[in-house]
Amino acid sequence: MEHKNWNLLDEALGLHNNDNDNAKPWPLCGRFVLVEDCVDTSAAFVLHHILKRSFSSHPSSAVLFLAFSHPFSHYDRVLRKLGCNLTAQRDNGRLFFLPMLMFQCPGEGKPNHDGLASMFEQIERVITVLHQDKKSISIIIDDISFLEVAANGSSDDVLNLLHYCLTLTSEYGCAFIALDHKDIYLNDGERTAVILEMEYLADILVKAEPLATGLAKDVHGQLMVLDKETHQHGISAIKSYNFHFKIKENGTECFYPGTKIQ
Amino acid sequence: MADSICRTLRDGALEGELAPTLTIKDSLASPFAFHVFSHILLQLSSHVIAQKSQSQGIVIVALSRSPSFYAALLNMNGVDVAASNKWIHILDCYTDPLGWKDKTRKSVNATDCSPQISLPTTSFKTVKDVDKLFSVITELGRGLVGENKARFCVAIDSLSVLLRHASLQSVAGLLSDLRGHDQVSNIFGLLHSDLHEERAVAALEYMSSMVASVDPYHHSADGQKGFLGDSFSQQNLTKGKFNVRSKRRNGRVRVTCEELKVEPGGISFASVSSVDGTAIAGLLPKVQFNLQLSEKERIDRSNVVLPFEHQGNGRPIQIYDGRRSLEESNSEANPISSGKKEDSAMGEIIYFRDSDDEMPDSDEDPDDDLDI
């Protein structure tokens, strides 16, 4: 492994347990990681981080990336700064990048099940091909809210698609990582059922929020990671991790509140 | 209380009565309903294996967990999965609830590469069709226990998912049909109460003879989990309150409360009375003045002699009722004054008259001689 410097985010996600042990499956395998952010604090860096880690998790790991919010060139630039060459990975057949920016379910204004069903068909086809090579696969959706736009605002269809993606996690042992914005679901202070249902489904919930005290130069926000530890098939309590982060040009610094030394 | 739920479910339905129905509900603040669900499922399966229960088989309607999850769950808890095909059957509404995969599988002709499922499973691909779901459940149950009077129990692992796919009326209809079915011994299902309108939750609660609700151990003030984890929200991650409301046939409702604790091996229940006092004291709002008494303060308080409390300890009770004249009481006043002298440490008023000019108190107006 080329990297040893696990940070708090790796620890919270359980990624550090996998160090130099290719026999074990990737800790995120078979799990659903839901990343929630808000307007003030973007959590896209968590996706970048997981994307980078998933390539280095296993020599034959692969990623299926469904891009709704940014084109490939964007991720290529960002990940290059983090020390990961997406173009090379794509050419190696380890990254399947499905640009969904222009995806729109047919039938404007009314929910259409076939649109998302065909999208799932596309996903599953890639997964079955990848699975034959015995790779540990991660499915990453970079923005569920755009998926909802593409589904003509039908949150039921979105949840159905999410459910189907989740069935892939138990069938093929894929990791499923999705980003969503939580404040777009706020309705008179009440949260709507869509985001709540996703939180129920999630095995690991990563929440990014700004500092309660407002903007700061050295701290860009705080992360809360709730790990339901459902992967052991057993019953266990929820673990929670809280820490602050600072996003840098070539990585993210995570630290416990008050422990950062300049 | 969890035991009594299991007992009720184990004992099953009486002839000519509706089958007992349990709804387990939770909310995101304390999402442990599935823990309770699997606990009850395991208890019931051990009863079924030991043939101690009325039901001779279990049909699990799997909507939110995969069949392989249940196989692993039973296996981990020492249930012989290989021999389970006689008493358990999973109706798999999880893998392909809407038939999307059907199309793909036909076109690609992919091999089924799912992990080894050792539990007997039937897949169901039209979850929206609740009538069909009912007929399939009863068919499967009949397949397990046979055509005779034997009964089976139905476990629905997410009524919430069912409610998302189908209308409240049809889900309520399904439950009602199952309760009235003469081969169903009991039904239990799981509901995430904050995903639905209140009326949907209420409707399902009306249809259940027991409602077990998992509530957060501590309610935080803003209804959300505190971000930088105070100790209360930390406790909510491992504990919950387990409230059970059970309805008897005669309409009597019994409500009990227990503490639910999530441990690595499973969940345990404890009565609330065993909760230590510090936890309750911690619930009080933080104020500057002290609302609690220390042990010393409590002892001191109990030593205070309240007015009139000193009377009645052998001595005649002296209460001036205002009717007797002063002279009359003068002679009798001696015992009191002497009594007072006994414990002069208690304090007394000593008064010296300044001079003879000063008259004792009289009714005369002291300003009488003023010439205004």
CA angle (B1, B7, B10) in 5-degree steps: 145
Q: Is the pLDDT of residue B6 over 70?
A: yes
Most A CBs within 10 Å, among B43, B69, B100, B193, to test the A interface: B100
Q: Is the pLDDT of residue B324 over 90?
A: no
With tokens 């269809």, the residue in question is: A157
With tokens 């894929």, the residue in question is: A174
Pairing of strands B210-216, B21-26: parallel
Give A233-254 pLDDT, tens digit per residue.
556 678 888 899 998 888 888 9
Q: What rounded mean pLDDT belongs to chain B?
A: 79
Element housing B244 (H / E): strand B239-247
User: Who among B35, B192, B227 is closest to A222 (CB)?
Assistant: B227
| A:B CB pairs within 8 Å | 107
Asked if B91 contacts B124 with a C-beta cutoff of 8 angstroms, the reply is yes
Residue B217 is encoded by which pair of tokens?
Answer: 């151990």
- Domain architecture of chain B: domains with CATH: 2-281 (3.40.50.300)
- CB-based contact A237 B238, cutoff 8 Å: yes
Most B CBs within 10 Å, among A36, A168, A200, to test the B interface: A200
Distance CA B71, CA B73 (A): 5
Whether residue A204 is contained in a domain is answered as yes
Give B15-45 pLDDT, tens digit per residue.
888 899 999 999 888 888 888 998 899 889 9
Q: Residues 6 or more apart from A105 whose CB is under 8 A from it?
A: A111, A112, A114, A115, A116, A150, A151, A152, A157
Q: Is the pLDDT of residue B339 over 50?
A: no
Residues of B in contact with A233 (CB under 8 A): 69, 72-73, 76
- CB-based contact A171 B115, cutoff 8 Å: yes
- CB-based contact A164 B101, cutoff 8 Å: yes
- pLDDT-based confidence at B225, cuts 50/70/90? very low
B321 vs A75, residue with greater confidence: A75
Residue A212 region by backbone torsions, left for phi larger than 0, else alpha for psi between -120 and 50, else beta: alpha
One digit per residue, the tens of pLDDT, for chain A of length 262 reads 445 578 888 888 888 776 555 566 778 888 899 999 989 889 999 999 999 988 887 778 899 999 999 999 999 999 999 989 999 999 988 999 988 888 877 766 555 567 888 888 889 888 988 888 777 889 999 889 888 888 887 888 889 999 999 998 888 888 999 999 988 887 766 667 888 889 998 989 999 999 888 878 888 899 999 888 765 555 667 888 889 999 888 888 898 888 876 5
pLDDT at residue B224, rounded to an integer: 46
Neighbours of B155 (CB within 10 A): 26
Whether residue A178 is contained in a domain is answered as yes
Residues of B in contact with A209 (CB under 8 A): 227
Encoded amino acid at B206, one letter: Y
For residues B307-313, give the mean pLDDT.
62
Q: What residues of A are in the B interface, CB distance below 8 Å?
A: 113, 117, 120-121, 124-125, 128, 131, 156, 159-160, 163-164, 167, 170-172, 193, 196-197, 199-200, 209, 212, 222, 224, 226, 228, 233-240, 242, 257
Whether residue A19 is contained in a domain is answered as no
Q: Is the pLDDT of residue B333 over 80?
A: no
Distance CA B312, CA B180 (A): 70
B116: Cα separation from own chain's centroid: 38
CA angle (A195, A197, A202) in 5-degree steps: 95
Whether residue A61 is contained in a domain is answered as yes
- CB-based contact A170 B69, cutoff 8 Å: yes
Distance CA B58, CA B48 (A): 8
Q: Is the pLDDT of residue B58 over 80?
A: yes
- CB-based contact A164 B237, cutoff 8 Å: no
Whether residue A36 is contained in a domain is answered as yes
pLDDT at residue B362, rounded to an integer: 63
Residue B306 is encoded by which pair of tokens?
Answer: 């309240």
Q: Is the pLDDT of residue B340 over 50?
A: no
Give B247-272 pLDDT, tens digit per residue.
888 888 989 888 888 887 778 888 87
Cα-Cα-Cα-Cα torsion B285, B288, B291, B295, nearest 10 degrees, comes to 120
- pLDDT-based confidence at B227, cuts 50/70/90? very low
pLDDT at residue A178, rounded to an integer: 94
- CB-based contact B164 A159, cutoff 8 Å: yes
Whether residue A60 is contained in a domain is answered as yes
Whether residue A209 is contained in a domain is answered as yes
User: Who among A128, A236, A240 is closest to B108 (CB)?
Assistant: A128
Encoded amino acid at B278, one letter: T
**Residues shown for chain A:** 262
Residues of B in contact with A200 (CB under 8 A): 28, 31, 160, 192, 195
Give B77-106 pLDDT, tens digit per residue.
888 777 777 888 999 999 888 888 876 665
- CB-based contact B195 A197, cutoff 8 Å: yes
CA angle (A208, A212, A218) in 5-degree steps: 75
Whether residue A43 is contained in a domain is answered as yes
- CB-based contact B66 A170, cutoff 8 Å: yes
User: Who among A117, A200, A235 is closest to B192 (CB)?
Assistant: A200
Report CA torsion sign: B291, B295, B296, B302: positive
Distance CA A194, CA B356 (A): 94
Neighbours of A244 (CB within 10 A): 22
Q: Calculate the alpha carbon distances from A9 to A81, A222, B289 in Å.
A: 18, 11, 42
pLDDT at residue B154, rounded to an integer: 93
Domain assignment of residue A98, given as a range? 27-214
Q: Is the pLDDT of residue B293 over 70?
A: yes
Give B153-169 pLDDT, tens digit per residue.
999 999 999 999 999 99
Residues of A in contact with B101 (CB under 8 A): 124, 164, 167
pLDDT at residue A36, rounded to an integer: 92
- Written as one string, the DSSP assignment of A164-214 is HHHHHHHHH--EEEEEEESGGGEETTEEPHHHHHHHHH-SEEEEEE--TT-
pLDDT at residue A22, rounded to an integer: 58
SS3 B89: strand
CATH number, domain containing residue A79 = 3.40.50.300
User: Who among B72, B108, B267 is closest to A233 (CB)?
Assistant: B72
Angle between helix A44-57 and A72-81 (nearest 10): 70
pLDDT at residue B210, rounded to an integer: 92
For residues B190-206, give the mean pLDDT.
91
- Total domains, chain A: 1
Longest dimension (CA), chain A: 56
pLDDT at residue B294, rounded to an integer: 82
Asked if B129 contacts B109 with a C-beta cutoff of 8 angstroms, the reply is no
